[in-house]
Copies of this chain bind each other. A is one copy, B any other.
């Protein structure tokens, strides 16, 4: 695209290097910001500068944090005996948003994937084992994606911890709320029947 200004063209390039933003959307964003208030531009610049200079990785759960230990790990009201293992920070936010989990997290940074050359040593698995041994952890909730790689990772961690007195659980797989049974895939529906619960346990606690 042709711009009368190199500054606009640079801004369009910078935006269009982000995921899911094409040239046209990047142009709309650049022209919007160019015409918008000074405050809005400054707010975005400040946020990005903090991202560069101040963002840290929590040394306990490996989520993003403003301090050496994140606000979840340092929250005294959270159940420290419960650790939920997630693949990435997006999954952590999704679970946190449900409001139904009050334990801690552990961000693996991916799942074991022989095809993509990701082995256990590339993930935060050793730090997880160490964390479980050092703290008094009662239960490990595996909240990984229901894929072959996810299942492999759960199996690997399960075997690694077989001698540790610890309950290992996985999040329930089944038919979604509001979903039609006839449109659920066979595998999910099959699992859903195998993992059937007594009606009294079905109520949400």
Contact = CB atoms under 8 A, between A and B. Distances in A.
Copies in the complex: 2
A204 interface: no
Interface stretch (A34-42, A123-131, A147-155): A34-42
A63 B45 CA distance: 24
Contacts of A20: 25, 28
A17 interface: yes
A93 B1 contact: yes
A51 B7 contact: yes
A50 B10 contact: yes
A97 B71 CA distance: 49
Contact of A7 (B18, B50, B89): B50
Interface stretch (A52-60, A132-140, A176-184): A52-60
Contacts of A66: 5-7
A191 interface: no
Interface in A1-32: 1-8, 10-11, 13-15, 17-21, 25, 27-32
14 contacts: A2-B97, A4-B61, A4-B96, A5-B55, A5-B66, A10-B43, A10-B46, A13-B47, A27-B93, A34-B64, A41-B48, A42-B52, A45-B45, A45-B48
Interface of A: 1-8, 10-11, 13-15, 17-21, 25, 27-34, 38, 40-52, 54-55, 58, 61, 63-66, 70-72, 89-90, 92-93, 96-97
